Amino acid sequence: MEELKQAYQTMGLDEFATKEEVEKRFLTLLRRERARTKHLEANNLTSSEQSEEDFKHISAAYRFILANDDRKVVQAYNEKEYGKYKNMAGKAQKLDHFWRYYKVHTLAVIALIGIIIYSITSYIDHREEQKYLASLPPIDVSTTFFGDFTQPVGEYEMTKITDSMLKSFPEWKRIESSIILVPGDDLNQLGHLQKAMVTLATEVHDIYIMDRKMFGWVGAQGILMDLEKQSELAPWLTGDLAKKLTVEGDTQERIYGFDLANTALDKDLPLHNRDLIVGIHVNAKNPEKAVQFIKTYLAASPQK
């Protein structure tokens, strides 16, 4: 059970996630990995061994979860079919298998045909996905929302969020976004925090947009950039919008985020949560544009 629990955590899922959720999450992670690989190849960069190892762990966890589901299905079937025979269940099962011998061969042929069709379809889908990814412009910045962020009913497409931000950056072509939901209710936080921790450990995004509670939690992980060193943000370092934290190993409070509530970002985002504290990952791939992101909204803010 512990190994299965760990597999779900590796994929950033709750322990009781459905098979459909597992499949959907793996497809999302696979697309991100392919996009990352494409980005590295396009820029003649070398992938880190850690990144490749992380995705190997994700793939192994995915296979382990599916295999476990298959075992449960088989066990449930055997219990239903042969449990009534009690001590003779083993013999009854063998006899049943004997009588179904030729049927099994037929099903095997059908399964083989299905596998061939699936393989062909997967290959075609893969080629189409590669064409689609190749047609996309490079990512200007990647953003992740951490906290109690929810979209209005019927608005579940991330494109609505990215499009709302792109309006403030007409020269940009692409913003990538995701939401890691962490409810404000403490009773429902544990599983979501585990998913958030896995995301922080395995993924690097340029910009983190957080509610107040998650700003303290994410900041404590030591992954946010010290914004006091960014000269472009100097006009706002002493204002009320600057948000400070004390991280482990540093006794001095420093600015790791800015409150962008009541700015154009707050107005445009199709989200219910009004806490918008924005920070930058210390290893952001696009740090200059991440700073530009914050500066643009601060410059249009009525506060300083």
pLDDT in tens, 20-44: 888 898 888 888 888 888 877 777 7
Instruction: Give the pLDDT of residue 65.
Output: 85
Instruction: Give the pLDDT of residue 166.
Output: 92
pLDDT tens column, 228-272? 999 999 999 998 899 999 988 888 999 999 999 888 888 888 887
Please state, in angstroms and rounded to a whole number, the distance separating the CA atoms of residues 260 and 264: 8
**What tokens appear for 105 in the block?**
């061969």
Task: Please tell me the total number of residues recorded for the chain in this structure.
Answer: 304
Decide which of 176 and 97 is more confident: 176
Percent of the chain that is helix, strand, coil (3-state, to 5)? 60, 10, 30
Please state, in angstroms and rounded to a whole number, the distance separating the CA atoms of residues 256 and 241: 11
Query: 3-state DSSP call for residue 115?
Result: helix
pLDDT at residue 89 tops 60: no
In the chain, where are the structural domains located? 2-99, 141-299
Superfamily of domain 141-299: Periplasmic binding protein-like II (3.40.190.10)
Instruction: Give the pLDDT of residue 115.
Output: 84
Q: Is residue 96 very low, low, confident or very high in pLDDT (cuts 50, 70, 90)? A: low
Please state, in angstroms and rounded to a whole number, the distance separating the CA atoms of residues 247 and 222: 6
pLDDT at residue 154 tops 60: no
pLDDT at residue 58 tops 90: no
Instruction: Give the pLDDT of residue 140.
Output: 94
Rounded to the nearest integer, the mean pLDDT of the chain is 82
pLDDT at residue 219 tops 70: yes
Instruction: Give the pLDDT of residue 81.
Output: 63
pTM (2 d.p.): 0.56
Instruction: Give the pLDDT of residue 34.
Output: 84
Question: 164, 269 in Cβ contact below 8 A?
Answer: yes
Look at strands 141-147 and 254-259 and give their pairing: unpaired
Instruction: Give the pLDDT of residue 257.
Output: 96
- Determine which of 21-30, 88-97, 111-120 has the lowest per-residue pLDDT on average: 88-97
pLDDT at residue 208 tops 70: yes
Strand-by-strand arrangement of the 175-181 sheet: 175-181, 141-147, 207-210, 277-280, 254-259, 242-245
Those residues whose C-beta lies under 8 Å from the C-beta of residue 84, and which sit 6 or more positions away, are none
- Determine which of 46-55, 81-90, 198-207, 210-219 has the lowest per-residue pLDDT on average: 81-90
* 165-194 mean pLDDT: 84
* 177-206 mean pLDDT: 83
Please state, in angstroms and rounded to a whole number, the distance separating the CA atoms of residues 27 and 30: 5
**How many CB atoms are located within 10 Å of the residue 122 CB?**
10
Determine the residue type at 163. Answer: D
Instruction: Give the pLDDT of residue 156.
Output: 56
* 89-107 mean pLDDT: 59
Instruction: Give the pLDDT of residue 49.
Output: 73
Decide which of 95 and 226 is more confident: 226
Please state, in angstroms and rounded to a whole number, the distance separating the CA atoms of residues 30 and 107: 31
Instruction: Give the pLDDT of residue 87.
Output: 56
Instruction: Give the pLDDT of residue 100.
Output: 61
Instruction: Give the pLDDT of residue 86.
Output: 53
